[in-house]
């Protein structure tokens, strides 16, 4: 496996850090050939920020837009022994952000209706 480190050695030295494609990580981790370090998108700094205020963290900046943070989290969770903590973090984050999104939409709709109402002639507003 030494070629994964970019060298010609047969083996990887103990303590070597490598970035591997996720499809290879499954084999390496589940075969107990190596230990996994938590990716930065789920590191302690991000976890603590999400626990404090889930809506303040820009998830798209961590792994990309389009909900990829949740998909990547699910993939990482499958490799962990303690899946419950990761599941709870992602579920709570999703729920709190969903509520915030719904609130923002209804607030914007109310503001749009109010703005449209104030543009109507006085006679139309009073019925």
Confirm if 36 and 25 have CB atoms less than 8 A apart: yes
Residues 125 and 105 in one domain: yes
Structural domain range at position 19: 1-37
Lowest mean pLDDT across 21-30, 85-94, 116-125: 116-125
- Residue-level pLDDT at 115: 52
Residues 67 and 111 in one domain: yes
Residues 49 and 22 in one domain: no
Q: What is the mean pLDDT of residues 34-46?
A: 89
Residues 49 and 29 in one domain: no
User: For residue 82, is it left (φ>0), alpha (ψ between -120 and 50) or beta?
Assistant: beta
pLDDT digits (tens, 9 = 90+) for 69-82: 998 899 889 888 88
Q: What is the mean pLDDT of residues 29-42?
A: 86
Residues 47 and 79 in one domain: yes
Residues 16 and 76 in one domain: no
- Is the predicted pLDDT of residue 120 greater than 60, yes or no? no
pTM: 0.64
Residues 105 and 59 in one domain: yes
Report the residue count for the chain: 127
């Amino acid at each position: 496996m030494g070629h994964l480190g970019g060298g010609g050695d047969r083996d990887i030295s103990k303590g070597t850090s490598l970035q591997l494609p996720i499809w290879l990580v499954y084999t390496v981790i589940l075969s107990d050939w190596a230990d996994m370090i938590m990716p930065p998108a789920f590191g302690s700094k991000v976890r603590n920020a999400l626990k404090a205020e889930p809506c303040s963290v820009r998830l798209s900046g961590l792994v990309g837009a389009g909900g990829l943070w949740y998909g990547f989290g699910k993939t990482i969770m499958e490799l962990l022994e303690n899946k419950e903590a990761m599941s709870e973090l992602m579920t709570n984050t999703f729920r709190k952000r969903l509520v915030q999104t719904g609130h923002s939409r209804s607030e914007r709709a109310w503001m749009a209706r109010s703005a449209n109402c104030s543009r109507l002639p006085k006679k139309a507003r009073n019925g």
